[in-house]
């Protein structure tokens, strides 16, 4: 009995030491992965990297990690226009089946899904900020974006000028659908706004209300999937395969 008790105590101690070693190793690996991702993507701040699953050391021995979560704050994504970027407030991705090289210099995930958030103020920069003529004597421009409910964006349009010598200075709004097409966020008015109660050609109005924003070169090569309006901005679902974390 005494020998059995000693064996049990040793098993508990060794088990505890293994757990400690495992947690120390995963913490170190998370830091290394975060540093490599920061360097690879030229990030301003170090991202959050969380390696899921236990034990970590047995996953390492197999050369593949089951689940790795990555979080990046304030990511400036390329837009396809030289010198122009769009700020993503919060980018989160869940990587599955992450394989890595023997020296940990490269890592690739079989698949990734996640979310990204773009504020309305940031997306507003995409819309036309300069007044555009929509009818003789009348100019319009988008002055605000907000949550319109049910996944729609409320687009506020300011109209100025004169019609039949009557001064016009009004702000009207329209609900718009937001979709992802060819890795672009597209905003399209469901119906035309009332512009000073006069008839205006639809194509002229849509030059103001409808716009799109390309979002290129997200970390690891992930792509836009779906998008919808939310209280604080547009929420985008992202996904990818063979996603590069390092190397």
pTM of the model: 0.80
The answer to whether the CB of 168 falls within 8 A of the CB of 134 is: no
Q: What is the mean pLDDT of residues 51-55?
A: 79
**Pairwise CA distance, residues 226 & 222, whole Å:** 13
Averaged confidence pLDDT in the chain: 80
Q: What are the DSSP E strand ranges found in the chain?
A: 48-51, 64-78, 85-100, 107-119, 132-135, 138-149, 152-163, 166-181, 184-189, 211-214, 223-230, 233-246
pLDDT of residue 136: 80
Residue among 244, 246, 241, 215 at smallest CA distance from 111: 241
Residue 11's pLDDT band (boundaries 50, 70, 90)?
A: very low
Question: What is the C-alpha end-to-end distance of the chain, expressed in Å?
Answer: 55
Name the H helices within 42-55: none
Range scoring the smallest mean pLDDT among 190-199, 216-225, 232-241: 190-199
**Average of per-residue pLDDT across 146-165:** 87
- Range ranked top by mean pLDDT from 55-59, 87-91, 175-179, 204-208: 175-179
Give residue 237's pLDDT: 93
Least confident of 26-35, 84-93, 121-130, 194-203: 194-203
Query: Which residues have a Cβ under 8 Å from the Cβ of 30 and sit 6 or more positions away?
Result: 49, 50, 51
- In this predicted model, which residue has the larger pLDDT, 30 or 179? 179
Higher pLDDT pick, 187 / 34: 187
Stretch 177-187: mean pLDDT: 91
pLDDT of residue 197: 56
Q: What average pLDDT does the segment 39-58 reach? A: 80
Q: Residue 159: is its pLDDT beyond 90?
A: no
Q: Which long-range contacts (CB under 8 A, 24 or more apart) does 29-37 make?
A: 29/56, 29/60, 29/104, 32/104, 33/68, 33/107, 33/245, 33/246, 36/105, 36/107, 36/245, 36/246, 36/247, 37/70, 37/219, 37/245, 37/246
Highest mean pLDDT among 3-7, 60-64, 140-144: 140-144
Q: Please determine, for residue 13, whether its predicted confidence score (pLDDT) is greater than 70.
A: no
Check residue 199 and give its pLDDT.
61
In this structure, of 2-16, 67-81, 191-205, the range with the lowest mean pLDDT score is: 2-16
**Residue 160 CA to its chain's centroid (Å):** 35
Predicted local confidence at residue 14, as pLDDT = 46
Over the stretch 108-143, which tens digit does the pLDDT of each residue have?
889 999 999 999 999 888 877 778 887 788 888 899
pLDDT of residue 10: 47
Both structure tokens of 86: 């769009």
């Amino acid at each position: 009995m005494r020998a059995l008790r000693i064996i049990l105590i040793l098993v508990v101690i060794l088990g505890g030491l293994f757990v400690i070693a495992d947690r120390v190793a995963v913490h170190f690996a998370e830091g290394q992965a975060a540093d490599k991702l920061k360097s690879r993507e030229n990030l301003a701040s170090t991202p959050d990297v969380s390696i899921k699953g236990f034990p970590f050391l047995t996953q390492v021995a197999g050369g593949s990690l089951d689940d790795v979560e990555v979080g990046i704050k304030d990511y400036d994504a390329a837009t396809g226009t030289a010198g122009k970027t769009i700020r993503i407030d919060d980018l989160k991705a869940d990587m599955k089946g992450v394989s890595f090289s023997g020296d940990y210099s490269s890592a690739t995930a079989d698949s990734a899904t996640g979310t990204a958030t773009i504020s309305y103020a940031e997306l507003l920069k995409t819309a036309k900020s300069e007044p555009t003529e929509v009818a003789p004597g009348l100019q319009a421009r988008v002055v605000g974006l907000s949550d319109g409910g049910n996944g729609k964006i409320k687009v506020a349009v300011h109209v100025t000028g004169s019609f039949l010598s009557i001064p016009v200075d009004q702000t009207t709004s329209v609900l718009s659908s937001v979709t992802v097409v060819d890795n672009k966020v597209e905003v399209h008015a469901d119906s035309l706004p009332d512009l000073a109660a006069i008839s205006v050609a639809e194509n002229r109005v849509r030059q103001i209300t409808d716009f799109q924003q390309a979002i290129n070169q997200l970390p690891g090569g992930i792509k836009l999937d779906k998008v919808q309006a939310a209280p604080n901005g547009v929420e985008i679902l992202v996904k990818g395969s063979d996603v590069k974390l390092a190397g």
